[in-house]
Structure formats: C-alpha cells, structure tokens
Structure 1
Amino acid sequence: MDHKKTAEEILKHLGGNENVESASHCVTRLRLSIKDMSKVNDQAIKTLKDVNGTVNQGGQYQIVIGPKVEQVYKEFEMAVSKEKPVSSRNSNPAETPKKKNVFSRMLDVLMSCFIPIIPIIAGSGMIKVLCTILVSAGVLTNESSTLQILNLMGDGVFYFLPFFVAFTAAKKFNTDHFAAMVMAAILLHPNLMAMSAEGATSTSFIGIPLQLLSYSSQAVPIILAVWLMSYVNPIADRLSPAMVKVFLRPMLTILIVAPVMLIVFGPFGDFLGGYFGKFVDVMNTWGWIAVSINALIFPFLVITGTHNALIPLIITMFATKGFDPVLIVSGLVVNIAQAGAAFAVALKTKNNQMRGIGLSAGVASLFGITEPALYGVNLRLKRPFIAVLIGSTLAGAVAGITGVTAYSFVGPSIISLPIFIGDEGFISLVWVILTVITSFVLTFIAVWLIGFKDPVDEEKESNPTVTNTLEGKDVNDSPVENVVEEHVGSPLKGEAIRLSQVNDEAFATESMGKGFAIIPSEGRVVAPFDGTVVVISKTKHAVALVSDNGMELLIHVGIDTVKLKGNHFNLEVQTGDQVQKGDTLMLFDKEEIKNLGYDLTTSIVVTNSDRYPNIQHKTGNVTYGDHVLNT
C-alpha cells in the first residue's frame, strides 16, 4: 500500500483540505468531519484500491481502511497541513458547516474523548490478564507483593481515568490542556476523598450544598467540566489585563468551572452512573439472551459506524465492575463469524479475485479487523452476511450459557483470548475456545448451505453461451486468462454500429477505449449490467458505470450534446446508486434534440479496455438488454 498516494487521493476526492474540518482515526477507519458533503466524491473514494468502504453516519464521514489506517492517517495529516492545519477549518464564516443534531454531537464528543486512550487501556488490561494467568498457573499467590504491584500497574489508568479524559476532552474542545487536568486533580484530590471516607455524604461551598462522591473511574463530570471551560477560558482571557494574565486567566477559570463541576456535574455524573449500573445488572440477569441480542445487533452497528459508541460503556463497565460479560463477548463471536463466512466464500467461489479477497479478509477477521470481510465479501454478496447474523446469534447463546466473560478491555480476536481467563482458571479459556469454534463452524456451514450468487456463476446463468453472433465469432474461442468474463446488454434500442463509424474522432479512434455505438430509435437508456453509477456529467448527457466485476463503461448520448447544458435530458439515477440490468438510467427527448441538429449516435465505451485483451460486440438491430458486448 502506498500510504502517501492513498491519502492524497482521498483528500482530492474530499474536495480538498478546505473542505475538511477535523480528522481522527480508530482501529480501521479515518473519521472525518466534513464541511460540505456535496463536494465529496464518495464513489471515487470507494473505488480506491486501499479503501474498503465508506460510512456517513452521525455527522461523521468514515473511510474504512483496515489495519494500515494509522499510517494513512499520518500521511493524510501531512497532506492537509501543507496549506493549513486540519483543526483550523472554520476561519471563513461563509463556509461554516451545517450543525449536527444533539445526538450526533454527543456521540462525536464521546468517541473523541475515549478512542485515543484505548491503546493504553488495552495495555493496562493485558497486565491484569497476566496477573490472572500467573495466579492460575501457580507462579504467584494472591498474597504476593509482586502480584499487588502488578495489579497497581494494571489498575492505574482506570483509577485516574479523569486525567486521561481531561486531556482528550481538552483536545476535542480546543481548550487549555493543563487547566483541564487541574479539574481532574481537584476531583481526585485526597482531601476530597477523605471527607467522604469519614462518613459525610455532603458539605457546602459558600453556603451551597455540595455532594461528596468518589470520582475515580468517572468520565462524565470531567467531560462536562472541560466543555464548560472551553467557554469560560476565552472570556477569562479577554477580561484579564495583559500584565497579570499569566495567573489571572487560569485563576478565574478554576474559580468558575471547579465549583460548577463539584456542585452540578459531579452529582449528574453519579446519577447517570447509577442508571448505567442498573443497565449492566439487567444485561447480566438476561445472560445468554443479552449476548445473543448484542451479537445480532453488532454487525449493523459496524455498518453504520456507531459501534464505537459502546466504548464509553465498556470502559465504564471495567472501571466500575472490573469485567464485561456481554459487549466484548458479543464482539468476539461476530468477528469470528465474519471470518467463518469469508473463508466459506473463498472455498466455494469460482472467482479467483473473490477467493483471494475472502482468504485475506478471513485471516484479518480472526485477528479482529472485520471491515475487509464485512464490506469486501459478506455484505457485498448479501447471503453470507445473513449467515454471519445466524452464526453470531447462536454462538452468542453458547457464550452466555457457558459464562464467557471478558476481564480486560482489549479488542476481541484469537490472539486476545487470554482476556477471558477469570478466577475459574483455565476452564474459562476452554469455554471461550468452544465459543470461537462454534461461531466459526456454524457460520461456515450456514454460508455453505445458503450459498450466494457468485459473480461468475451469476453471469453464466443470466447469459448462456453465445456463439456465432459476436462479429461471427464464438466467444469460447478466445478465453481471457485471469479476467472475469463480462456480458453487456444493450442500453438502448436501435442500430448497433462500430465505433469507427461514429462522427467523433475521440470515440472513432478508440482513444477513450474500445466499444461500440448505437443509433437510438427511442429516448431511453437502461443499465447494461448489474453495477454502480460512478459518474454523471453535469449536462446529464453521459453516465459512467462500474459492473460488479469491475468493468468501467461510459454511455455518451449524442455528439456535442454537452452544448445543450442538460436541456431535454432527465436522469433517473444519481451518483453512487446501485443498479440492476434493465433499470432506467436516463430519458431524453429524441425528436427535440434531433430537430435542434444534433447527432444522437450514442457511444458505449469500455474505459478500462486494457484489462480485456479480447472485446467483441454485435452489430445490427438491438433492443434493451440484448447481449451486444462480450469480453
């Protein structure tokens, strides 16, 4: 993968750096805040070699890259910063982006606060797993001082979670990082903790009641405090004279924000925490039902890009409960199910390209990276995705019944199975291995039984062997190696002719690619195959499609009809639409355009002709859907 080239191509199709408000990334995706989505060429981004798909959800545009996303992100940041930083996109009021709804903004804040700290939480969690393994293996005892110190190493990030969240929140809200961490220090100050430890439940500040709570492992109060600080700090800066600003600005910020945090935000966070605890208890009570339901829903969360909204819940669960019997477990069975489906497709397909994609995507899913399998195989072929839902749901039930529980927040995969080892010892590892096997095998069998429409098989079924019709040749006489055969139906009704007969040098010389032309007898254009609309000319007279097997086809109605500026043309599709063979793409007023003196000869060109050594086409009278071109 050429990370620099990929990043530059993405930026170009996003509409340039002026259209990018902010950028971040998670494990597999670039997550972008875009000013004007109408400037984004979504289909062009999707067709980039190293992009597995895109999601526009919750006010955030996400580009699915895979495990190399961090390298692409770094190159993307460098490409953007050639002109100006990503974080300073709103300097022009005329280009202020549309406001997101409240839910989208809240989701964006939560993900921005928690996603950056996942690696350190995962690393700390693995230390806790190491402690469990050492005790289970008899290497250390529960009374060992070594074990106690190791536990301190693993627990530190959860106890002091407000500090980490304060830093990421300050970055998100673009405010003073050090003032934000002061707020975290106030929440965790030993004297405040000591007041509640002495049995008091409340005190007062300038006569206002102040509830005494434990703020270790809490995130909501500090996020709200930093949000408030993002408004207070600029005001304090303006009010502070330059001579004393160095201390007066932070002093005013602390004096205003800290009391509000302790009196209002703290109890509010505790209130939410209480309801979250009840939610966790309900999920634990439901047991295998909760795991099955979450496993069924999880793939849809990944598709919409909202699965990361669970991260704050998971982190809070580990910080307060110390384990997760539902969410990470559900993620594990879904990841393995995606792998099982991808491997089944790889073994069953007759398409060499799909076989390669299935094998690589299956391996990636076993290691926790599911987007290649989800977008490149299972969702694309539809039925394997149904098999994933079946396998995930059933395996989730097995996991719930056997009591599989995660004791550390690490991305679920076959290499992180030790996170499921608990106080029961290695028997818990046996149960999780059984769950993994169940998820993989059941999904694999489901794909094998349900089947799927293989790209090659689908074409063979809908297009029987054609002989002696394509320029008098048998298409089976010229096999094309390593290229999937394409069978193109006629997009118009009329007379098919050679491109060399077209009165337009660009088409007649085949400089744009090989193909044929049709002199239309009706003003209607239909899809010549199953595929995607990738380009529509602004003047509506031309449309480009990509077939499901990768053929790029341009349908150009008339000669010099660009001068009509879209008049007398009506489009029935838009860029990015999925179309089936025979779907109407365009209507045009044949008689009116002809009366205006335009030649309506329509060129149909394979723009990636170099991929097909042998392109053959039919001439003579054709109607919609007739087999006119073969590779």
Structure 2
Amino acid sequence: MEETKMGKYHELAEKIVANVGGKENINSLTHCITRLRFKLKDESNANDDILKNMDGVVTVMKSGGQYQVVIGNHVPAVYEEVVSIAGLSGDTEEESSGGSIFNRLIDILSGCFQPFLGALAAAGMVKGFNALLVFLKLYSNTSGTYTMLNGIGDAIFYFMPVILGYTSAKKFKLHPMVGIVIGSALCYPAVQGSALQAVFESTAGAGAAAPYSLLGLPAYDTFLGIPWVGGSYTSSVVPVIFIIAFAAQIQKLFKKIIPEVVQTFLVPFFVLLIALPIGFLVIGPIISILTDLLSSGFQGLMSFSPALYGLILGFFWQVLVIFGLHWSVVPLAIMQITQEGFSQVLTASFAASFAQTAVVAAMFFKLKDKKIKALCPPAIISGIFGVTEPAIYGITLPKKKPFIFSMVGAAAGGLYLMLNQVTSYTMGGLGIFGILNFINGEDASGVVNGAIGIVIAVVVAFILTFFFWKDDVVEEEIEIEIPKVMNKDIITSPVKGTVASLSTSKDDAFSSGALGKGVVISPENGKVVAPFDGTVMTVFPTKHAIGLISDNGMELLIHIGLDTVQLEGKYFETFVKQGDKVTRGQTLVTFDKEAIEAAGFSTEIPVIITNSDDYLDILEPQQKEINLNDDLITALI
C-alpha cells in the first residue's frame, strides 16, 4: 500500500515540476498546510491551465511573488517528492528570517549546523562509548582499538571547518564545492601555527621567538610581503563561517562581470584567490586577538571573585562553545595542570553540559515537532558524555528560551562548584567521566561536590524548562492519502461585478473576518442568484440579506449593501422564502442599485462563508471581474 502511495505522489510531483517550467525554472520551494509555494524564475513558463485541471491539484494562485499550487492536506508528502525530483535542497524550505541581529545570527548558526546534527550526535556517542570502555579498563588509551574509535568519533570535530564550509556555503548561497575547498584549506597542515613556527625557526634558528609573539599571537610568515599570522583552524567554527560569508559576496560580484561561458572555473578561481588570503590575513588574526583578550579577562575575574567567576563562566560557557571561543579558556587549564598539578579554570563550566542535557530531556516531553523530538535521545546520550553541540544547535538554540534556561542551570552549578573550591587534577574524560578529574589521591571530596554540582544544574535547568517553556509549534496530524481531486465546495458568483478581498469592506464587522471568510462584490446590476444547490435558511424581513445552506453543509450569507437595513425593504424584491429549496443560478433577490446609491448607501455585497472554520482553506478568485455563475470561492474540505 505504501509503495502505491509513494508511486502516485511521485507521478503527481513529476507533472507539477514539468508544468511549473521544469526544475531549471524553480528558484526555491516552500509549503504551508495546503499549498506548494514556488518562487519561479519566470512565471510565464508555467502552464496554469494544465496545472489547474491536473488530478491531485485544486487550483493555481499567484500572490506575493509566489506561484502557489494548491494541493490539499497531503501537501507535505507531495512536497518531499517535488524536492527530490527537482533536485532541491531541503534547507530551501525556509529562508533566513529577518529581525534583530541576534535573531539573524541564531538563524545563520542553526542553518549551518542543523544539516549534520545526526552525524555530530553519532560521533559524540562513539567518543563517549570509547571513554566508557577505557574507564572500565577493557583496553587502554594507547591501544589500537582506542585509536581507531577515537579517530571515528573525533574526525567530525577535527575537520569541522570542512563540514561547515559545505553547510555555510549553502546558507550563504556560495557554491558548496568552493565551501569545501575553503574549509579544507583551513585544515591544511602547512597553514597551522606550529607549521609556521617551524618555517620561522628554519630561517631564524631553532627556538627563535617570532616578533608577533610580543603581541601574544602565533607564528607568522609573509604573503606577498604582508605578515601572515598563523593559527590553528582545525576544530574551529567562527573563521570558516565568516570567510564563507565574505566569499559569497565575492562570488556574487564576479558572476556579474565574468562571461557566463567561463564562470564555471573562473568564478571559483577568483573567490579562492581573494577570500582565503583575506581569511588568513585578517579574519584569523582578529579571532586570535579576541581569544587572547578573553583569556586575560577570565584570569582577572577569577582572581577578583571565584564565586562571580563561577556564575559568569557557567552562564556564558555554552555561548563561548557556539563561537568557538571556549578555546580561550582551555589552554589556561592545561597550562596550570602542567605547571602546578591542578586547576580551577574550567571547574565552573563542568555543569554546563548537564544543564544543557537536562533542558533537552525536559523538551522531549513537550515538543510537538516529531523531527526535532527524534533528535532528543541521541542528543541526551551525547550530552551525558560531554558533547552538547547537537543539543545546542539543533534543539535548544533555535527555540531560544530553553537555551537561556540551560545557561541559568549551568550558572547555578558553576557557582556551587567554585564556592566549594572544586579543583581538577587532570584533563581527563568529558561529561560524566569528567567527574574523575576531581580525584586527588585518596581525597574524593571533589567527586562528591562535583556530583552535587551536576544535580543542582540538572534540577534548575529541567524545572525551568518543564514548567516555564511552551512549544510554539502547532501540532497538526497530517494523514497521507493517495492523491486525488480534493474534496471541495465551489461557490459560483451570485452577482455580476468586481471582486475584492473581504478585508477591504467598509464595514468593520465584515472586514475583520469576525463573521467568516469571503469576498466583497461591487455589483454591476441589481440581480442576486443562488451560488449553489441548497436551502434558504433566512430571508431578513428587510430583504437586504439572505442566509443559505448548501446541500454539502456550507453556510453562506449574502448581504446586499451596507446599512441598507435602514431602508426597511424599500428598493428590494425577494423571490424565495425561508425553507425553500434553491438551485444554482436561481434568482433570489433583485434590487434597485441606482436608487439605493442615490439614497446614500453603499451597494457593495459581502459574500461570507459563516462556518469557514469547518474548512481546511478558503481560496478567493484570481480574476477581478466576475459574471453570474462564474466560480467565485473554493472551500477545501
């Protein structure tokens, strides 16, 4: 049965793609509850009439720069087939939202990370599994088994710029393969800081201090005589995103000035030749300077007040992870443990992964989006082992408030840990296994306080999310059916005239939609006919309005003029009474249009479906001028 469904959807999708002008005519595609919303390069290439008469398509509408193909309640399944047939990317379903800089930044970060969340979660689970087996002493961290599993789990993190090069290129509309090359260049060994130091020592002598070290920056070489500051870009996040954003602008510029026949290779040539040197010469050094400034700030704050340090670092730790700036703190901890045998630099951040994991656990019980909900279990497992990127980028950050709750929980845990002077004596396992870092010989008090810190962070984050966050997604049960002509009621026009949206009515009760959905008709003459087969429910004593119900249950109000109730029936003549059966096109009312207007009343006629909430969608006509018995409104059931 499922194969039959999918085959039928595939056939329908093929016809739709062909008749919107082919996949080469599609710029982007989204969908709502009933409609495929295309942005076409040239709408004149679409075959309107063929689509309107196609089995499985209700109608075609053009609005707001979109070419809308109305499908019905099985539109999500048809959308998936169209995406596949047209070779579109799923991430074109929504474009970047506008709004504040903060909201746009979150949109960019989420858009760059969401495509590989599944792989990221899997890698975190592999690393956690490997750490568990080492902890259980099934093998050592020097064995070949550990090395292989660590490589499998660590690869996605080590080559993060390559992956982000691809996803951010799609986000910024840069050619994805060019994005991969940019990400790969950032991971190329010869451009890393240690490699540049070797270059400098080979010319200046072993152990020589590079001049840039006076500024606390990595080693450097020169590019066309310009000092080139080296840095380690493997596992980094921010540099590649900024370089890709810049490269996208370069691509846009050169596409305008390079002939199309040679754009395939010349545009990428200039993009790489310009964007990467700028990245290495400008973006990388700026990130290094920001990292060093942040490191100095953390050291000064911890000396001033450990408790305040615990609150601030705990609260902002996950923000630092997002921007890759947490590496400004990690080297300090490594240096202290190497020189002194202990460190408190990272203590305040220890509870952050557990707070993030607790938030995801709470969201699991409240999420309505099944796709996001399915990401929660692997994100929780990954978070327990200290890898929270899947939770941050795919689940909590896009929802905003849960991410803030995780920051509050992390701050509470960080405060407790710093107040109790919990100290790390090794840079060992992540997540739950990180608690072993607090063992000092026979003294296990650090482990106890570390566990209490975890509990505080988890409880605070979970309670805040569970009781103070509500998913804003409206859950909709969508039944997938074999495509067919949509069940619908069609209202033909009861009046000849000019059609406008109901919102343009001069009467607030009608224009607000409070009485239902519909249209307004400016009549050309004084004749009103039945728009469907049905029954007369009401004929107002003043004859200016009539209520009908169709044989299919549609309730309709035809209101002739505004405030014409004051005429008390003058200039109106009715031909039916309450309870009469009527057929489509039968005369219901006539009125003297000129006399009513001369009396100072508007003759616009609202035609309103009063039970419009019973319908899936109400489609207004595309044409402005309409004749008696022309299709006026389509109501989808």
TM-score bin, normalised by smaller chain: 0.3 to 0.5
TM-score, length-scaled by structure 1: 0.44
The structure that has the greater radius of gyration is: 2
TM-score, length-scaled by structure 2: 0.44
